[in-house]
Amino acid sequence: MDNTLQLKAYAKINLGLDVVRKREDGYHEVRMIMQTIKLFDKLTFRLLEEDEIRIKTNLGFLPVNEDNLVYKAVKLIKDKYQIDKGLEIDLFKCIPVAAGMAGGSTDCAAALVGAAKMFGLHLSKQELMELGVKLGADVPYCVLRGTALSEGIGEILTPLPPMPDCYILIAKPSISVSTKFVYENLRANELEQHPDIDGMVEAIKAGSLSGITDRMENVLETVTIPAHPIIEDIKNCMKENGAINSLMSGSGPTVFGIYDSEEKAEQARGIIREKNLAQQVYVVKPFNQNIE
Ligand code: ATP
């Protein structure tokens, strides 16, 4: 019997990101337009007779112990359903780390799905999302996938129709940005400008790419860009080279540009690499399929 399973864990970008306010308990209330993109990590699961969680990964600097979100996901399922078998997970990472693309959260979502399958549990998407929120605010979205409005601390999700077809250029400069630093330094209650998230929802429903690109804004840029001006340089470079618009994703430092032609996106990719603005640069498409 084949006792292995392979799943892809897809990254996301934020087409729009607003922070409505900082709550008294310290959490930030957000309104974000999420979009899954065709850039993924691969997880291979193998059932173990021993009661153990073993993680192997191609990135030597990532934790493979209980600090890895994949470990946390498998542990949560094992504990909740009293499973005494174990799992070995081979995590092959392609999504840039600490980049604003929910890399860890999407691995976590895939690990929940994979562990449930490997242990023969029949969990619904809703059940997996409820488990996921215990491990991270973006995890339920990574189970849901596609185009969605995310509210609350990220756990209130409204699925939207798929965004119109386009090419997305992703560029991650070689700096690390901690999500914690960005939120701690955001003056959430003093923001002068807020993105038109409702307008973007309407544009998505109308299938209007220009309606979306006209409204691309991310309030976290007010913290990350002053600390790392290279983000602005990459945004400008994309716009000077055919992007309809460009924006930082999540808390950064990844920048994405929306293109209506693959050729233009590929050309801009070459220029960004040539200028050495970013090392991890990819041309991808939106991805709107369900989690396997
Ligand atoms: P987000 O968009 O949700 O803010 P991110 O892209 O900023 O996510 P991640 O790539 O998820 O950040 O990683 C942040 C930190 O989490 C890393 O520094 C890493 O040590 C830790 N981590 C734990 N598990 C994983 C995982 N499976 N993949 C990547 N990082 C992980």
Residue identified by tokens 């292995």 is 4
Average pLDDT, the chain: 95
Q: Which atom of ligand 1 is nearest to the CA of 98?
A: 12
Look up 138 and say whether it is catalytic.
yes
For strands 86-92 and 53-57, give the pairing: parallel
Q: What letter does residue 190 receive in the DSSP assignment?
A: G
Spelled out in words, what is the top-level CATH class assigned to the domain 4-159? alpha beta
Atom 4 of ligand 1, nearest CA residue? 100
pLDDT averages per 10-residue partition of the chain, 292 residues: 87 97 90 98 97 97 96 98 97 96 97 98 96 96 97 94 97 92 90 95 98 98 96 98 98 97 98 97 91 51
For 193, phi then psi, to 5°, come to -130, 140
Q: Name residues contacting ligand 1 (CB within 6 A).
A: 62-63, 67-70, 97-105, 107, 138, 179, 250-251
Q: Which of 56, 62, 70, 280 to mutate to test the pocket of ligand 1 (most atoms within 8 A of CB)?
A: 62
Looking at residue 27, its pLDDT comes to: 87
Looking at residue 77, its pLDDT comes to: 98
Looking at residue 147, its pLDDT comes to: 97
- Exactly one of 41, 78, 138, 172 is catalytic; name it: 138
**Rg (alpha carbons) of the chain, rounded to whole number:** 19
Looking at residue 14, its pLDDT comes to: 98
pLDDT 10s digits, 224-262:
999 999 999 999 999 999 999 999 999 999 999 999 999
Residue identified by tokens 């701690």 is 184
The number of C-alpha atoms within 13 Å of 269 and in the hemisphere containing its C-beta is 17
* Domain coordinates in residue numbering, the chain: 4-159, 167-284
Alpha helices in the chain (DSSP H): 69-80, 103-118, 125-132, 139-144, 179-184, 197-206, 209-213, 221-227, 230-240, 262-274
Q: Does domain 167-284 have CATH number 3.30.70.890?
A: yes
pTM of model > 0.75: yes
